[in-house]
Amino acid sequence: MDQYTMLIDGERRIGDRFFGVRNPATEEVAGESPECTRRQLEEAIVAADRAFPGWARDDEARRDALRRAAAALTDAVDQIGSLLTSETGKPLRRAAEEVYGVAHWLTYYADLELPEEIIRPSESTTIEVRRRPMGVVSAIAPWNYPLVLSSWKFAPALRAGNTVVLKPSPFTPLATLLVGDVLADIFPPGVLNVVSGNDVLGSWMTSHPLVRKVSFTGSIDTGKAVATSAAADLKRVTLELGGNDAAIVLDDADVVTMSGAIFAAAFQNSGQVCSAIKRLFVPRAKCDEMVEALAFRAKEAVVGDPLDDATEFGPVSNEPQYRRVLGLITDALERGATAAAGGTALEGPGYFVAPTILRDVHDGAPVVDEEQFGPVLPVLAYDDLEEALTRANGTMYGLGGSVWSSDIERAASVAVRLECGTAWVNRHLGLVPFAPFGGVKWSGIGVENGIRGLEGFSDLQVLHRPT
């Protein structure tokens, strides 16, 4: 069984013990991850703190290191991608895309030109609005996109001049540990540390006095715990949390044409995307047509072995999530919903669920009100657009949303009324490094990506001086 190493102060390290990481497509152990001890975390954070002043000093050296990191990961794409597939279950080409995504984010931040902000209140005074790095950043990632979501943190954090301690989810630590291994000689010791362990390791990372910023992606409940822990000494936080995105189809939409993009945005990564479509609102008169079009795609979808080139969708990524998704489907069926496609697990081994389209399902059912985070989409009939908007916004989630119509202006005027951080017209998903991304209400605090994402890893300093 392959065992992987952490990266602490520039050295490859194991813990006192290892824990097995399961392949969700086979239920076999894919590899062994070290369990970071509290003493080792201390070493990582102290090393990051020690490395900070030197790393913060030279912007060109940082850009150069980020570019070299992107090149090294691109060279190792096959090795990292196949390990990522073995722990997440995502198809191989999707895993490779994720590795390329990390390289893309690193390159974007290496190349980003930061605007200078100068204010001249008078002839004799110049005010420079500057940015200073914060220090040690704790970066904590979830299991659905372990690599690219980590890079949304470490690429801007490092570029801004901070040092980083990164922790992947205990369900999917292996590819992240391999990334640390590939990058071990690119960054000076202590600049990037990668540790692995269970949830308690995360809580140590959010309460350590040397950490000045916590960047967290995960569930809302954990996000609240992270915010509480960070508040004790006013660490800055960025929280990217769960979503329950609504898509509203307007009465003028060409349902059959749009169903392909809607299906893709609901079922990408087997529905395990924070900003996937999770509730689909359709005018009652168009509901049958939409359900039929989506059910056709769901039945045609190739679900299976992620190592097979033909596979479009792999399993749900871990057993607790598999049980939760099946529980939500069963509950909806018991409440009177109909599965127009799917509705059941697929024969094992592996945590496979047939892509499921639910109709006759109503607000109040957990599959509608809560984030399902799996391959099941409830189709919800509405009679009046104001009613659809009220229902779409009637939640504490506020990550993304979309409106679908043949009239783009009309759709945009509805989209801006959605209470969410990102709103799309005639699409949903498709995240890019240069656009900020974040949630409102319980879906998060702060944003990642773009210049604003970089700013989240720095403090403002305003320098007043004689001209």
Residues forming contacts to ligand NAD in the complex (CB under 6 A) are: 140-144, 149, 167, 169-170, 199, 202-203, 206, 217-219, 222, 225-226, 240-243, 274, 371, 373, 399, 439, 444
Minimum distance between the CB of residue 189 and ligand NAD, rounded to whole angstroms? 24
Report residue 317 as tokens. Answer: 């990524």
* Minimum CB distance to ligand NAD smaller for 156 or for 304: 156
Among the options 240, 371, 419, 448, which is catalytic?
A: 240
Q: Residue 103 and residue 99: Cα distance in Å, rounded? A: 7
∠ CA 17-20-26 to the nearest 5 degrees? 170
- Residue in the structure block whose two tokens are 């605090």: 445
Query: 88: number of CA atoms within 13 Å, CB side?
Result: 33
Q: Residue 70 and residue 78: Cα distance in Å, rounded? A: 14
Nearest to 377 by CA among 463, 457, 259, 254: 259
State which residue has the least CB distance to ligand NAD: 202
> How distant is the alpha carbon of residue 350 from its chain centre?
23
Backbone angles phi, psi at 242, to 5 degrees: -70, 165
Q: Residue 3 and residue 177: Cα distance in Å, rounded? A: 10
Check if the beta carbon of residue 251 is closer than 8 Å to that of residue 284: no
Minimum distance between the CB of residue 124 and ligand NAD, rounded to whole angstroms? 46
* Strands 125-133, 192-194: pairing kind: unpaired
> How distant is the alpha carbon of residue 231 from its chain centre?
23
Minimum distance between the CB of residue 14 and ligand NAD, rounded to whole angstroms? 19
Q: Residue 91: is the preceding peptide bond cis (ω within 30°)? A: no
DSSP string, 304-360: S-TTSTT--B---SSHHHHHHHHHHHHHHHHTT-EEEE--SBPSSSS--B--EEEES
Q: Residue 235 and residue 216: Cα distance in Å, rounded? A: 12
Report residue 44 as tokens. Answer: 């990582």
Using alpha carbons, list the distances in angstroms from residue 17 to 12, 32, 36, 58, 78: 15, 9, 8, 38, 28
* Minimum CB distance to ligand NAD smaller for 52 or for 373: 373
Is 11 catalytic? The answer is no
Q: Which residues contact 346 (CB under 8 A, 6 or more apart)?
A: 303, 352, 353, 354
Is 420 catalytic? The answer is no
Minimum distance between the CB of residue 57 and ligand NAD, rounded to whole angstroms? 30
DSSP state of 390: H
Nearest to 63 by CA among 103, 108, 10: 108
Q: Residue 403 and residue 283: Cα distance in Å, rounded? A: 12
Q: Residue 162 and residue 135: Cα distance in Å, rounded? A: 5
* Minimum CB distance to ligand NAD smaller for 101 or for 202: 202
Minimum distance between the CB of residue 147 and ligand NAD, rounded to whole angstroms? 12
Q: Residue 113 and residue 461: Cα distance in Å, rounded? A: 18
* Minimum CB distance to ligand NAD smaller for 405 or for 449: 449
Minimum distance between the CB of residue 287 and ligand NAD, rounded to whole angstroms? 27
Q: Residue 433 and residue 106: Cα distance in Å, rounded? A: 9
Minimum distance between the CB of residue 439 and ligand NAD, rounded to whole angstroms? 6
Among the options 43, 87, 98, 274, which is catalytic?
A: 274
Which residues are registered as beta bridge partners of 444? 240
* Minimum CB distance to ligand NAD smaller for 117 or for 199: 199
Q: Alpha helices, DSSP H only, in 193-335?
A: 199-207, 220-231, 255-267, 287-300, 319-334
Minimum distance between the CB of residue 373 and ligand NAD, rounded to whole angstroms? 5
Minimum distance between the CB of residue 97 and ligand NAD, rounded to whole angstroms? 16
Instruction: Give the catalytic positions in this structure.
Output: 240, 274
